[in-house]
Amino acid sequence: MLAGGLVATAVLITLAVRRLRGSGISRTRLGILYGLRAVAMAGLVLLLARPIWVTRERPDGQRRPAVVLIDRSESMSLPDRDQTRYQRSLDFARDHLLPALKSADLPVQAMLFADDATAADGPKLADAKPDGPRSNLGGAIARAMTTVSPSPLAVIMLTDGAANERTENSRALSGLIEARAPFIAVGFGNDVGVQTISLRRVDAPPVAAPRTEFAVAAQLEVVNATDIPEFDLILYRDGKFAQKKTVTAGKGSRFWMESFRVNESQVGAHDYSIQAIVPALPNVKSVSTMGYASVRIAEEKELRVLYVQGALTWDYKFVNLTLKDDPSIKLTGLTRTSKQSVFRQNVESSGELLNGFPSTIEEIAPFRVIVLSNLKPIDLSPAQQDLLARFCGELGGGVLMLGGALTFDASWQGSRLEQLLPVVFASSQGVLGLDRPFRMRLTEDALQHPVFQIADRESPQKVWADVPPFTQYGRVDSAKAGAQIWAVHPQDQGPTGPRILMAGQRYGAGISSVLCIQNFWRWRLAKDSDPARFDRFWRQLFRYLSESSRQDVMIHVADQDLHPQSDIRITLEQQPNPKNIGNKAQQFTLRVENPQKKMVHEQKMDLAPGRPVETRFRASAAGLYTATVKDSREQPVATRTIEIRDVNIELQNTARDMETLRQWAAVSGGLALKVEDCRDAGEIVAAIKKKVQEAQRNREIQKPFGMNGWTLGLLLGCLSAEWLLRKRWGLT
């Protein structure tokens, strides 16, 4: 195009010169004018032709890293020799690959991937579990190419290659080719697909009444089974054999429930575990064979709240005052009065909490909510924090961390307690000095939440706007995924938005929450406030936090297949209640929501202790369904999630897929190897280096030619000069 344009320009100029030769203009002037026109037209043609300048890449100063992508999808949890595929890939990376890359002076960026990919350091790699729901090889490569800077020198993947997501493959391919980064794969696992039997989890109610039957159930999954023989399930109670049942033989893939009926006569807490004893068969692998659940056996007449303080605070006094006239909530105080002593209040027996904060599940089990106030990490040992996490996650207890001078302190960062709570602690030193007075601002979520409905006749917006101002608050950085923010500071901005003052989240079977305001009691004492609203808020909050462990009605999922497009059978049974004299039938409402929180089933029913009622709902899609039972006052009395699963796609195709890996390697100039062929990681690194050099040897850099200010300036300059000269010489 460029050549054609230049020829056309030359022809036009020649014709014009010939036409004007006899017009009396000197040859010099004619030459100058048409010379300028020729240059301008040539420049124009050049720009229209969009020429490209091609050069070879020069080694730059910035060192590009090698990205190591490690597969953590569920198929990597399958056994490979005496380890899982994932563990073997980690060992290979740690013992061979990374040292070899380091000795070759190549910077490394490690990433974990399954359905998505994230950067990972050593501890994160060690802590990660191979439980990703999908294997998205293309997505992981694309993510590595777009997030790692400078662009990766090579992408090294440790995987079984069993991909089941392909939507991002073309983007990944473009990224590899564009960056000339070879794809190098090391394949783990067996080349023949396996049949799997998994005990996915054990379910049990967090709380049950004595002398009342309840179920401890195992969720089982079999994938690709051509012929799975019968096998045994063993129930252990506190580590000792309790019951055994045999699961019948079957074929195909299924996800179903098998349960044991349990009845305890004494109050206390028990750990139940179920083990699947799968016979050793060729090509049948057990992904996991054991699951656990804790159950608190309690005769609950009242909701017990344990209020733990690092020092006496007025908040405790005002909360105590609030609950004084509520016979259904009992507050027990545990206050550190010096380094060596604690002050107990409202304990049930002389021995209760004698040694301070509970150290066993039996000690913590009688409480349904635990409030932590004015505490430093040193006040709670890691073991006690673990216990608190079990209390919330397994026993369905509620945890509230309340603002205190020491409560929201940077030293809590990274603690077990922080993992449990709905917020990430800030790096600042907790509550600092006296803040400017502020009014807490409730979020839309809170205004709709039953806890925050503290007046019958006025709108929650107005009622909460009337709450008096506070002066201090603990700083937290952000809410965790899944947390619900209830109140924020009206002006102060944190790293991710308005500073959080109150938030909560589901944690396992329970609920954890934070209230970052210091001296929340000021609300009740304030001259213009209504103490009844303060009281109602606290009572409702404690009831909500304890709601998960309330099991006035037991929801039992029958032994059945739990797959989409099936009717799911559940049984509801009212628990014995001392207030229900004569065990009369009471009316309840069952509502079931699908994973999108839309109600799929609603049913009113009369329930009485000892008379279970069976019902069913249609599960049309996979996901977590939530069954909630409410009493006649619309108060929730029991809730349970039920998982409906498609056949596990990760375990359907479990054979190592070297063919896919070789294809990726071929198109990017890389290589794919089986791990058993990688006897020396140095050889891999040498191969990586060779492939990188090959890829870069011919790497061309293409830049647009002439598309710059100089060319444009030249063009305009020539045309302007030509116009000026014509004017000066009196030419039209």
Partner 1 sequence: MKKLALIVLFLCAAASAQETHDPLATFFLGRIRYSQNDGNDCGGVGQDLIRLVSRASTVKVQQEKKVRLTDPELFETPFVFMNGHNDFVLTEAELEVLRKYLEHGGFFFASGCCTNPNFPKAWRREFSRLFPNEPVKPLPYDHLIYRSFYSISRLRSMHENREILLEGIIHNGNLVAVLCEEGLCCSFSMNNKCNDGKGVSPDDGQKLALNIAVYALTH
Tell me which of 149, 174, 345, 419 binds partner 1, using CB under 8 A. 345
Give the helix ranges, DSSP H, for 528-657: 531-546, 649-652
Contact 407, 379 (CB under 8 A): no
DSSP 8-state class, residue 574: E
| Stretch touching partner 1 by CB under 8 A, among 129-137, 167-175, 214-222, 318-326 | 318-326
Could you tell me which residues come within 8 angstroms of residue 2 by beta carbon, excluding any fewer than 6 positions away? 45, 46, 49, 51
- CB closer to partner 1, 147 vs 320: 320
Q: Does 318 bind partner 1 (CB under 8 A)?
A: yes
Strands 636-644 and 623-630: antiparallel
- CB closer to partner 1, 311 vs 605: 311
Tell me which of 132, 333, 377, 670 binds partner 1, using CB under 8 A. 333
Contact 418, 393 (CB under 8 A): no
Tell me which of 25, 225, 312, 558 binds partner 1, using CB under 8 A. 312
- CB closer to partner 1, 498 vs 531: 531
Of residues 525-564, those binding partner 1 (CB under 8 A): 525-527, 529, 531
Contact 252, 228 (CB under 8 A): no
Residue 49, H or E segment:
helix 27-49
Q: Does 325 bind partner 1 (CB under 8 A)?
A: yes
Residue 38 in tokens:
């020729």
Q: How far apart are CA 333 and CA 346, in angstroms?
A: 7
Q: Does 347 bind partner 1 (CB under 8 A)?
A: no
Residue 448 in tokens:
């709709």
Number of residues forming the site for partner 1 (CB under 8 A)? 35
| Stretch touching partner 1 by CB under 8 A, among 19-27, 193-201, 330-338, 660-668 | 330-338
Q: How far is CA 352 from the centre of its chain?
A: 38
Q: Does 19 bind partner 1 (CB under 8 A)?
A: no
| Stretch touching partner 1 by CB under 8 A, among 238-246, 350-358, 431-439, 540-548 | 431-439
**Smallest separation, CB 544 to partner 1 (Å):** 23
- CB closer to partner 1, 436 vs 703: 436
Q: Does 407 bind partner 1 (CB under 8 A)?
A: no
**Is residue 192 exposed (0-12), middle (13-18) or buried (19+ Cβ within 10 Å)?**
exposed
Q: Does 411 bind partner 1 (CB under 8 A)?
A: no
Of residues 271-310, those binding partner 1 (CB under 8 A): 310
Tell me which of 63, 251, 324, 679 binds partner 1, using CB under 8 A. 324
Residue type, 315: D
Give the helix ranges, DSSP H, for 557-708: 649-652, 658-668, 681-697
**Smallest separation, CB 428 to partner 1 (Å):** 14
Looking up tokens 């996800």 gives: 255
Residue type, 494: G
| Stretch touching partner 1 by CB under 8 A, among 126-134, 312-320, 581-589, 685-693 | 312-320
Residue 569 in tokens:
């059978």
Contact 17, 26 (CB under 8 A): no
Among candidate residues 551, 539, 441, 473, the one with its CA nearest the CA of residue 209: 551
**Smallest separation, CB 341 to partner 1 (Å):** 9
Phi–psi pair at 453, nearest 5 degrees:
-90, 90
| Stretch touching partner 1 by CB under 8 A, among 38-46, 176-184, 336-344, 418-426 | 336-344
Among candidate residues 476, 513, 516, 514, the one with its CA nearest the CA of residue 497: 476
- CB closer to partner 1, 321 vs 600: 321
Q: Does 314 bind partner 1 (CB under 8 A)?
A: yes
**Is residue 705 exposed (0-12), middle (13-18) or buried (19+ Cβ within 10 Å)?**
middle
Tell me which of 311, 347, 714, 721 binds partner 1, using CB under 8 A. 311
Contact 389, 362 (CB under 8 A): no
Q: Does 336 bind partner 1 (CB under 8 A)?
A: yes
Contact 347, 355 (CB under 8 A): no
Q: Does 634 bind partner 1 (CB under 8 A)?
A: no
**Smallest separation, CB 406 to partner 1 (Å):** 9
**Smallest separation, CB 312 to partner 1 (Å):** 5
Q: How far apart are CA 727 and CA 732, in angstroms?
A: 7
Q: How far apart are CA 573 and CA 443, in angstroms?
A: 37
Q: Does 327 bind partner 1 (CB under 8 A)?
A: no
- CB closer to partner 1, 27 vs 527: 527
Of residues 167-186, those binding partner 1 (CB under 8 A): none
**Smallest separation, CB 531 to partner 1 (Å):** 5
- CB closer to partner 1, 472 vs 513: 472
| Stretch touching partner 1 by CB under 8 A, among 337-345, 508-516, 549-557, 661-669 | 337-345
Q: Does 434 bind partner 1 (CB under 8 A)?
A: yes
Q: Does 355 bind partner 1 (CB under 8 A)?
A: no
**Smallest separation, CB 317 to partner 1 (Å):** 5
Tell me which of 521, 588, 617, 625 binds partner 1, using CB under 8 A. 521
Q: How far apart are CA 182 and CA 473, in angstroms?
A: 53
**Smallest separation, CB 430 to partner 1 (Å):** 9
Q: How far apart are CA 573 and CA 529, in angstroms?
A: 43
Tell me which of 73, 169, 275, 472 binds partner 1, using CB under 8 A. 472
Question: Bridge partners of 423?
Answer: 479
SS3 475: coil
Q: How far apart are CA 261 and CA 257, in angstroms?
A: 13
- CB closer to partner 1, 86 vs 307: 307
Question: Omega of the bond prior to 150 within 30 degrees of 0, cis?
Answer: yes
Q: Does 317 bind partner 1 (CB under 8 A)?
A: yes
Binding residues for partner 1, per CB under 8 A?
Answer: 310-314, 316-318, 320-321, 324-325, 333, 335-339, 343, 345, 374, 405, 431, 433-434, 471-472, 521-522, 524-527, 529, 531
